[in-house]
Structure 1
Amino acid sequence: MAPLKFCANISWLFAELPDFTQRIYAAASCGFQAVEAAWLYDCELQELQRARKATGVEVILINTPPGDVKSGDLGLGAVPGREKDFREGLDLAVRYAKALECKRIHLMAGRIPVDVNRSQVAKEMETVFVHNLTYAADILSKEGIMGTIEPINTRITDPRYFLDSPHQAAAILEKVGKPNIKLQMDIFHWQIMDGNLTHNISKYLPIIGHVQIAQVPGRNEPDSAGELNYSYLFNILENHNYQGYIGCEYKPLGSTKEGLSWMKDYCKHMK
């Protein structure tokens, strides 16, 4: 049984350091062989390239640009009337991914428009999302890049996010029907929206392209107090022979380094 592999989400970890390039170095110094991030687009690409090459870490995943955050955007993939903006953001994400040799891009769905009922726009937004994902699949396949879609819980994190359950995401992926567009499983969001993790992991693992973790409900270290038994969940992933990286997308209770004892304990256990 191969041990699981973990990558540092540097949008969440090492936040005590202001610069993403510094966080890459810090992740490497703590033993991470890979990193992921949400949005690196405010960073100088050449600086990120230098940090990646100097440390030897892989960049596993980045997100498409969120859009106009000040106006309430959080991704554009399913937002009607923003198709041109989505395509421009995808082009930017591909440029960064290629430069950083990153092979996964999270294609963010976006939010339900303000003052609009979810049921009123769900069908239209799904149609837009399927269309944009189909377009993205063709662009990404030319570059050897996988696209992922991630359900984000609407009970705690973002009440207006369009894509909020693994079942909704799986149905959309079936309509898209492209082998390089996969499901991104953030266990934190899945537990909050649906629970039933043993069944859902087993059911959806064949279409999962990336995994992320955090404790529920505080979104802290996996071994912090909360609802989830990560020793059990890691065992499920091991038994299903999950080969990809697991993104550590959590908010450290103290310093990032001090909170990594859970990962050290796992590595010792697997030796």
Structure 2
Amino acid sequence: MAPLKFCANISWLFTELPDLSQRIYAAASAGFQAVEAAWLYDTDLQELQRAREATGVEVVLINTPPGDVNAGELGLGAVPGREAEFRQGLDQALKYAKALNCRRIHLMAGRVPVGTNRMAVAKEMEAIFIHNLNYAADILSKEGITGLIEPINTRITDPRYFLDSPHQAAGILEKLGKPNIKLQMDIFHWQIMDGNLTKNIHKYFHIIGHVQIAQVPGRNEPDSAGELNYNFLFNTLENHDYQGYIGCEYKPLGNTTDGLGWIKDYWTHNKRVTAELNNLHL
């Protein structure tokens, strides 16, 4: 049973540093061998490449562009009338992903348009999302890249986000039927929307392509006070032989490095276990 692999989400961690390329260096110094980020598009691509190459850190995941943030947009994948802009955003994400050797892109669904009823537009938005995902799947397959869709909770984080539960996402993936489009499991969002994490991990494990973590309800370090027992959840993923990355997408309670005791404990424990197993086989 291999230990879990973690990546630092540099849109959330190491924000003591203003630049994403600087945060790559900070993540490497803290012991991370991989990073992920939401949107890299305001950062010079060559600077990001230099940081990645200098540190040897793998870039695991980026998101498609959000659209017009000032207009309240958060992705365009399921938004009516925005298909052309979704494709333009996918092209931009693909450019960055290829330059950084990143093999996963989160294809953001977006929000229910202001002034419309969620139930009234649900079928239309699902059809548009599936259409756009089908297009993305064909483009990404040529590059060996996996697309991901992520449910975001509508109870706390984003009341108008279209994709809000693992069950909805799994139904869309079943209709889509593309093996290179998978489910992004953010445990924070799943707990808020549905709970029942152990059963849902087991039920949807075969379509999970990426995992992200944060404590509930504060969205802080996984060992901070909250509802979730991450030792149990990590053991659950280990027992399922999860081979992908786990993104640390949380808000540090203080300095990022000071709050990394939980992952250093995990790394130390697994080094000790590995050493003991190696000694048994000598």
TM range (shorter): over 0.9
Number of the residue aligned with 1:123: 123
Following superposition of structure 1 onto structure 2, how do residues 211-230 of structure 1 map, counting pairs within 5 Å? 211-230=211-230
In the aligned structure 1, how far is the partner of 2:139 from the partner of 2:210? 20
SS of 2:62 mapped into structure 1 = strand
CA distance in 2 between partners of 1:46 and 1:269 (Å): 37
User: What's the offset of the Cα at 1:80?
Assistant: 0.5
Q: Counterparts of 1:15 and 1:218 in 2: how far apart (Å)? A: 18
Deviation at 1:269, TM superposition (A): 2.1
**Alpha-carbon distance in 2 for matches of 1:56, 1:199:** 36
SS of the aligned residue for 2:168 comes to helix
For the residue of structure 2 that corresponds to 1:236, the secondary structure is helix
Partner residue of 2:104?
A: 104
3-state SS in 1 of match to 2:250: coil
Q: State the secondary structure of the residue aligned to 1:253.
A: coil
Alignment-mate amino acid for residue 2 of structure 2: A
Q: Which runs of 5+ in 2 are unaligned?
A: 273-282
SS, match of residue 22 in structure 1: helix
Tell me the amino acid that sits aligned with residue 29 of structure 1.
S
TM-score by length of 2: 0.96
For 2:111, what is the secondary structure of its paired residue? coil
How far residue 110 of structure 1 moved from its aligned partner, in angstroms, is 0.1
The runs of 5 or more residues in structure 1 that have no matched partner are none
- 2: CA distance between counterparts of 1:130 and 1:249? 26
- The residue aligned with 1:245 is 245
Q: For 1:73, what is the secondary structure of its paired residue? A: coil
Distance (Å, rounded) in 1 between the aligned partners of 2:229 and 2:31: 24
Q: Which residue identity lines up with residue 156 of structure 1 in the other structure?
A: I
SS at 1:143's partner residue? coil
Is 1:42 paired with 2:42?
A: yes
Alignment of 1:71-220 (within 5 A): 71-220=71-220
| Deviation of 1:19 (Å) | 0.2
CA deviation after TM superposition for structure 1 residue 116, in Å: 1.1
Q: Measure how far apart 1:65 and its partner are.
A: 0.1
Distance in 2 of aligned mates of 1:10 and 1:78 = 26
The answer for the alignment partner of 2:26 in structure 1 is 26
Partner amino acid, structure 1, of 2:210: H
Query: Equivalent residue of 1:162, what SS?
Result: coil
Q: Deviations over 1:51-102 (max 9, x none)?
A: 0000000000000000000011100000010000000000000000000000
Match for 1:153: what amino acid?
N
Residue 213 of structure 1: how far off its partner (Å) = 0.1
Paired amino acid for 1:136: A
Residue 159 of structure 2 aligns to a residue whose secondary structure is: coil
Question: 1:240 and 1:143 mapped to 2: Cα distance?
Answer: 28
| Structural RMSD (CA) | 0.4
| DSSP 3-state at the match of 1:189 | helix
After superposition, residues 10-25 of structure 1 pair within 5 angstroms as 10-25=10-25
The TM-score, its normalising length taken from structure 1, stands at 1.00
Aligned equivalents of 1:64, 1:264: Cα separation in 2: 31
TM superposition outliers: structure 1 runs of 4+ over 3 Å: none
